[in-house]
Amino acid sequence: MLGQIVLISAGSNQNSVWGDPETTLSAAIRLLAPLALGDVRCSPFYATDAFPPGAGPDFVNAAAAFETQQSAADILAVLHRIEAAAGRSRAIRWGQRTLDLDLVAVGDNVIPDDQTHDHWRNLPLYAQTSIAPDQLILPHPRLQDRSFVLVPLADIAPDWQHPLLGLTVTQMRDLLAAEARASVRRIERDVLKG
pLDDT of residue 10: 96
The DSSP secondary structure of 146-176, one letter per residue, reads -HHHHHHHHHH-TT-B-TTT--BHHHHHHHS
pLDDT of residue 194: 38
User: What's the CA gap between 113 and 164, in Å, rounded?
Assistant: 11
Beta bridge partners of 67: 5
pLDDT of residue 146: 93
The DSSP secondary structure of 102-145, one letter per residue, reads EEEEETT--BS-HHHHHHHHT--HHHHTT---SS--BS-TTGGG
pLDDT in tens, 159-182: 999 999 999 999 999 999 999 999
pLDDT of residue 134: 85
pLDDT of residue 9: 97
pLDDT of residue 124: 83
The answer to whether residue 193 scores a pLDDT higher than 50 is no
The answer to whether residue 191 scores a pLDDT higher than 60 is no
- pTM across the whole model: 0.90
User: What's the CA gap between 73 and 77, in Å, rounded?
Assistant: 6
User: What's the CA gap between 18 and 10, in Å, rounded?
Assistant: 15
pLDDT in tens, 26-57: 999 999 999 999 999 999 999 998 866 777 78
pLDDT of residue 188: 80
Superfamily of domain 4-186: 7,8-Dihydro-6-hydroxymethylpterin-pyrophosphokinase HPPK (3.30.70.560)
Mean pLDDT of 85-103: 74
The answer to whether residue 129 scores a pLDDT higher than 90 is no
Mean pLDDT of 108-123: 93
User: What's the CA gap between 164 and 86, in Å, rounded?
Assistant: 33
Q: What percent of the chain has pLDDT over 70?
A: 89
Q: Which of 59-73, 95-109, 131-145 has the highest mean pLDDT?
A: 59-73
pLDDT of residue 97: 76
The answer to whether residue 93 scores a pLDDT higher than 60 is no
